[in-house]
Structures are given as structure tokens and as C-alpha cells.
């Protein structure tokens, strides 16, 4: 017997000085007298950030307790497949939040509660909402990358309303002491654990009684179909791609110089403008009247000076000569000396603030100079119109910028330096992003190919909508196909340009959609699974083609009646016949059993 508990959310106040405060789940496991033999492990992403903690223990003596504690709601964005699997296997769900973090609560309510609600629509799993902490009036957060106002706390009525939406039990834990954790929270949690165990025991007893009612001659046992291959998702390397772009210095279009013009530091306008309104002003993406912040305009003028070059002539064939990068003089010598560290911070995802502080401290070795440079960085990254009085930034307070900021430049002519022509339409893009995210395009734009010196690049073999979805993934690291056919078209495009993670995402989408189809819909759909199989094989999607063969074999009685079944090759037909479900042996045993029942002239309670 076992109970699975899944906990989501972070109960810690992000502005709290106590970073070692134990979590609610760990506090309960450590204090409850009913828990024994605790074991813990952590599942981490490719970049090393923990995705969730897994605890295994014994409760009520011999009942196995498995707890998954996901502190970051980002798992729903970065690993949708894992988050759905956790919710689907949960017996109890715990949602936690800090009453002093209004922004996180609002984000939970707006972005993630609908997802959880949808996942729970087909099952009745008890949900516990825990509001943790004593309410206090905090100081507004005005760091350049975290512009939310945290002065207001999450009220009791807001928590109760959230609980009503999910049909959940609402608890307020003012502190994580023995009373609130062990007796209050633990009492409710243990009640639901007992309810879950009782329900499982009842279902097991019903199955046992049903088996006891069968005749002495038992009907043939229908075994479960073979387990189909499991496709594992590939971790994102979005930030690593952009950081490599800085290191390899490809497609640079801006060079920073000190006032003596001695050393050049190269970068890319599109990346800089995606994270800073100041760089938008500097490179003409925005005008001073659009900034609505005079201090930002003054900072741009006092910190940088763009050297005006000769206007570029027009070229009738769209083949410009090698255009040198825009030269920008950095007037502040201290900031100029730390510019490489600042650029590494930006190109690494703009969330490793502590690392940036440490690097600048080691380089300058002077607290006043360090503070001066860090203030310049904060001013460069701040949002126009917002105050900037915060002296400290924390990495966990700064969200990743690229997946939203680069989206602003997707399919827009702003700063675009290449235009794709596809189906009598044009799509503007930016070479720096394409080269960073796609090795095929990196070779195309940097090798001895016609595209390397062309502004207008034709695209063949894919539709405009599919290519736009492909570019959107390169810019944002996310995609959302509208249908299985669109996902297959996007998979073909991803294979054409060798973007393997996008191909895996499309494979998982197709598999998830097919798995969710009821048998009746699968029998009546006009979608040809055999056609999908042929395309998957032709475009080297071995995992998907193997899975589709298993899928056809598992649903043999449906697909064997369809005309497309005859399109399978001899090898594919042999595989399906070998792994078909139900098997020929079972059907023969079933026929013999029916003959026996009729010969005995008795009533079969099963058939």
C-alpha cells in the first residue's frame, strides 16, 4: 500500500533573510511521530537547478509514502510532460504560498491554477491550500528586473476564494512550529491519507469479490498490452546557445570601445535591446519621446556615444558588402572595464546576479567602485518610469528575460538583417538569433553559401505557418502546435534544420494527443496514423515511428478495419501481428470458453 503526495509552490518569503528555513513538507516529515525511514533525493534540470525534491518514507507503520515537493511553478512551463505525470499519479495535492508574496500568489492564480484545475477535472483528488507566514508590510521591490509591488499581502479572503475555485481545503499556518505543522497541517494531511487508503482498500475488495463470483472454469485473462516506448524530453539549452553566441563573436553588429579606442568588446544589438530600454534608445529602436523617462535618456547620453557612420547605399540585388559593427564609445572607464562581465551576465540569461557581483568585486577590489558599476547596471536594466532604490538584487527574484523579451522582435522588421521569402510572403528575422539557435543556419550564414551575403533568402519545402512556428521556437524556446498535423509539419521542419529539441517536443505532443483519444474517436477520425508513421520514418524520427507501430498494434482491432492498414509494409505488418493486442492466443481461448459456456447451458456472469 502507498500514498503519493505532490506539493507545489514556495512557502518562503523571497525577501526573508532566513534562506535556510525548512520547507513545510520537510518540517512535517521530520516532526510527525507517524513518519519513519525518511529518504530524500533531488531531480535537477540540465543547468543544475533543482526541479523537485522526492521524499520516501513509511507512515502508519507499513504504508509507503512518496512525496514530490516542487518549489518552482516553472516546471509547468519547462517540463509540461513531467508536471502532468506528477498530478496524474497524486493521491493528495498540496499548494503552498507565502502570504507576504502577493506577486507570486497572483502569478499562481492567473497562470497555474487553471492548468491544475484542468488536470483535476477527470479525477477527484483532495487539494490542500496552505497560506504560510505572518502578514507584514514589506518594502516595495524596485530592482531593475523585478518591478512588482510587494507591499500588499495576500488576504485570507483571497486564499479562501482560491480554495473555492479548486474545491480545496484552506489552511493558514502563521509559523512552521509544532502546532501548525504537526497538529494543524499534519492532522488534515493524515485525514486525507487515511481516506485515500480506505478508498484503495475498498476498490481492491470489490475486485476480489468480483473474481470470487466467476465460474469454476475461468474466462481467459486478457493481459495488458505491451508497454510502449517512453520518449524522454530534452532539457533546454536556450541560455547556453545565446552565451555561445557572445563567445564565438558571430554576426556581431556593435563594438564597444573605451575613450582611447584601444580595445573592442563586440556584441549584438538584438540581444542588448531585448533586455534594456536604454539600448533601444541608443540604437534607435525607440525615440526619446517613447521612453517616458528622462533619467534613462540622460544615462544613455552620459554613458555611451554612438559614432555616426556613412549612410549605407542601397543594393538592387540585396547583397551588401561586409558592414562593420556600429562603434559605441563607453565614457565611464570603470563601467567599460567591467563591460565583458556585464555582457556575460546578459547573454547567460540575466539571472545570475550574485555571480555578476562577485566578478565585479574581484576585478575592481574597491567597494565604492563596485557599487558605482552595479548601480549603472541596474539603471541600464530598469524599466522606464520605475524607481530604482534597491541596493541588493537576488537571483531568485529575477526572472529569465529572453523567453519573453526576444518575442518582441519575432516577425518584426526592427533590427532585422535577413528576410525569408516563403509562399509569396516575406518574414523578417535576425541572423544573430538564428545562428545562435540553429547549427544549420549558422553554417548557412557563415559559410561559403549564397545566403551568407544575401538579405533575401528563399525557403522551400515548408509552409509559411510552419516556418513561423519554427522561428518562434528559435526566438522563445517554446512552441504550441494547434493540431497533430501541424506538429508533424513542424517536426519535419525541425529535422530539416537539425533542431533536435524542437523535434522531441513535436514527438511528445503527437504522442500525448494520440494517447488521449478515446477508442470511439480513434475509430472515426480521418487522421491517418499510417501516414504519420511513414513521415516519421522518412524524416528519421525513429522514436516516434517505433511508438506509432506499438500504438497500431495496441489498437489492432481498430486499425485492422481501416483501409490504411493495407499500406503497411511487410516488415511493419509482421511487427504489428507479433505485438497485437488482444493476441491471437487470447481470441482462441475466448472462443473456446464461449463454446464451453454454451455446451454447459449455463449463464456466464462475465460475458
Q: CA-CA distance, 361 to 373, in Å (whole number)?
A: 10
Quote the percentage of the chain above a pLDDT of 90. 35
What was the pLDDT predicted at 288?
84
Task: Note the pLDDT of residue 43.
Answer: 57
Instruction: Provide the pLDDT confidence category of residue 14 given band limits of 50, 70 and 90.
Output: low
Mean pLDDT of the 368-397 span: 69
pLDDT at 468 exceeding the cut of 90: yes
* Beta carbons of 3 and 197 less than 8 angstroms apart: yes
More confident residue, 162 or 51: 162
Which run of H or E residues covers position 457? strand 456-458
Mean pLDDT to the nearest integer, 385-399: 45
Beta-carbon contacts of residue 102 (< 8 Å; ≥ 6 apart): 148, 149, 150, 152, 153, 154
Estimate the crossing angle of helix 294-303 against helix 367-381, to 10 degrees.
Answer: 130
pLDDT band for position 399 (cuts 50, 70, 90): very low
Contacts 24+ apart (CB under 8 A), 305-311: 305/329, 305/331, 306/282
* H helices present in 525-569, as ranges: 529-538, 542-554, 556-559
For residue 529, give the C-alpha cell: 496514423
Look-up of cell digits 464451453: 596
Q: With bands split at pLDDT 50, 70 and 90, how would you rate the model's confidence at 488?
A: very high
Average of per-residue pLDDT across 158-169: 88
Polymer length of the chain: 607
Kindly give, in sequence order, each residue whose CB lies less than 8 Å from that of residue 256, ignoring residues fewer than 6 positions away: 264, 265, 266, 267, 328, 329, 330, 336, 339
Strand partners, 43: 52
Q: What is the structure's pLDDT at 17?
A: 53
Give pLDDT tens digits for 210-226.
Answer: 666 554 567 777 777 76
Domains and their CATH numbers in the chain:
2-136+152-204 (3.40.50.300), 249-309+322-384+394-403 (3.30.710)
Q: CB under 8 Å to 248, separation ≥6 — which residues? A: none
* Distance, CA of 118 to CA of 103 (rounded, Å): 23
3-state secondary structure 334-393: HHHHCHHHHHHHHHCCCCCHHHHHHHHHHHHCCHHHHHHHHHHHHHHHCCCCCCCCCCCC
Contacts of 414 (CB under 8 A, 6+ apart): 285
Burial of 525-551, coded b for 16+ CB within 10 Å and e otherwise, reads: eeeebbebbbbbbebebebbbbbbbbb
The answer to whether 301 and 394 are in contact (CB under 8 A) is: no
- Name 582's Cβ contacts closer than 8 Å, sequence gap at least 6: 222, 556, 557
Q: Select from 227, 219, 228 the least CA-distant residue to 587.
A: 219
Longest Cα–Cα distance in the chain? 105
At 104, is the secondary structure helix, strand, or coil?
A: helix
Which DSSP symbol is given to 187? Answer: H
Its pTM stands at 0.60
Amino acid at each position: 500500500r502507498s500514498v503519493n503526495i505532490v506539493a507545489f509552490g514556495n512557502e518562503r518569503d523571497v525577501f526573508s533573510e532566513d534562506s535556510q528555513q525548512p520547507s513545510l513538507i520537510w518540517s512535517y516529515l521530520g516532526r510527525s511521530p507517524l513518519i519513519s525511514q525518511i529518504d530524500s533525493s533531488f531531480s535537477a534540470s540540465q543547468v543544475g537547478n533543482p526541479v523537485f525534491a522526492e521524499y520516501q518514507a513509511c507512515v502508519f507503520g507499513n504504508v509507503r509514502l512518496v512525496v514530490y515537493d516542487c518549489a518552482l511553478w516553472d516546471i509547468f512551463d519547462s517540463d509540461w510532460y513531467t508536471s502532468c505525470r506528477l498530478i496524474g499519479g497524486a493521491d493528495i495535492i498540496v499548494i503552498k504560498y507565502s502570504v507576504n508574496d502577493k506577486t507570486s500568489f497572483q502569478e499562481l492564480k492567473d497562470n497555474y491554477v487553471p492548468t491544475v484545475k484542468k488536470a483535476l477535472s477527470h479525477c477527484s483528488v483532495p487539494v490542500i491550500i496552505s497560506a504560510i507566514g505572518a502578514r507584514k508590510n514589506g518594502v516595495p521591490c524596485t530592482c531593475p528586473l523585478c518591478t512588482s509591488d510587494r507591499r500588499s499581502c495576500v488576504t485570507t479572503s483571497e486564499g479562501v476564494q482560491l480554495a473555492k475555485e479548486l474545491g480545496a481545503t484552506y489552511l493558514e499556518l502563521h509559523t512552521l512550529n509544532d502546532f501548525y505543522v504537526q497538529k494543524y497541517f499534519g492532522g488534515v494531511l493524515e485525514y486525507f491519507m487515511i481516506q485515500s487508503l480506505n478508498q484503495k482498500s475498498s476498490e481492491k475488495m470489490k475486485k476480489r469479490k468480483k473474481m470470487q463470483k466467476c465460474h469454476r472454469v475461468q474466462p481467459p485473462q486478457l493481459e495488458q498490452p505491451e508497454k510502449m516506448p517512453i520518449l524522454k524530453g530534452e532539457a533546454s539549452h536556450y541560455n547556453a546557445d545565446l552565451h555561445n553566441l557572445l563567445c564565438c563573436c558571430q554576426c556581431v553588429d556593435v563594438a564597444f570601445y573605451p575613450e582611447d579606442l584601444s580595445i573592442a568588446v563586440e556584441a549584438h544589438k538584438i540581444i542588448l535591446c531585448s533586455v534594456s530600454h536604454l539600448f533601444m534608445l541608443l540604437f534607435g529602436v525607440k525615440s526619446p519621446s517613447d521612453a517616458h523617462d528622462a533619467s534613462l535618456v540622460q544615462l544613455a547620453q552620459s554613458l555611451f556615444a554612438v559614432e555616426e557612420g556613412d549612410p549605407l547605399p542601397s543594393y538592387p540585388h540585396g547583397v551588401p558588402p561586409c558592414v562593420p559593427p556600429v562603434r559605441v564609445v563607453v565614457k565611464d572607464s570603470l563601467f567599460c572595464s567591467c563591460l565583458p562581465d556585464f555582457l556575460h551576465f546578459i547573454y547567460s540569461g540575466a539571472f545570475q546576479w550574485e555571480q555578476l557581483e562577485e566578478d565585479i568585486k574581484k576585478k575592481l577590489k574597491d567597494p565604492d567602485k563596485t557599487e558605482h558599476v552595479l548601480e549603472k547596471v541596474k539603471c541600464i536594466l530598469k524599466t522606464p518610469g520605475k524607481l530604482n532604490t534597491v541596493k541588493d538584487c537576488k537571483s531568485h527574484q529575477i526572472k529569465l528575460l529572453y523567453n519573453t523579451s526576444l518575442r518582441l522582435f519575432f516577425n518584426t522588421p526592427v533590427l532585422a538583417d535577413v528576410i525569408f521569402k516563403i509562399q509569396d510572403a516575406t518574414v523578417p528575422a535576425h541572423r544573430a538569433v538564428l545562428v545562435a539557435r540553429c547549427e544549420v543556419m549558422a553554417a548557412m550564414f557563415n559559410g561559403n553559401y549564397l545566403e551568407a551575403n544575401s538579405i533575401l533568402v528563399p525557403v522551400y519545402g515548408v509552409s509559411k505557418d510552419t516556418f513561423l512556428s519554427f522561428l518562434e521556437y528559435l526566438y522563445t524556446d517554446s512552441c504550441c502546435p494547434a493540431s497533430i498535423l501541424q506538429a508533424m509539419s513542424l517536426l519535419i521542419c525541425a529535422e530539416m534544420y537539425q533542431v533536435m529539441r524542437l523535434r522531441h517536443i513535436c514527438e511528445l505532443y503527437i504522442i500525448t494527443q494520440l494517447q488521449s483519444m478515446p477508442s470511439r474517436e480513434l475509430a472515426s477520425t480521418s487522421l491517418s496514423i499510417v501516414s504519420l508513421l511513414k513521415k516519421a520514418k522518412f524524416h528519421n524520427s525513429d522514436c516516434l515511428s517505433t511508438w506509432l507501430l506499438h500504438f497500431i498494434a495496441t489498437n489492432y482491432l481498430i486499425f485492422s478495419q481501416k483501409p490504411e492498414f493495407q499500406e503497411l509494409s511487410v516488415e511493419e505488418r509482421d511487427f504489428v501481428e507479433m505485438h497485437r493486442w488482444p493476441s491471437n492466443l487470447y481470441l482462441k481461448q475466448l472462443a473456446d470458453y464461449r463454446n464451453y459456456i454454451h455446451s454447459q447451458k449455463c449463464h456466464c456472469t462475465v460475458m
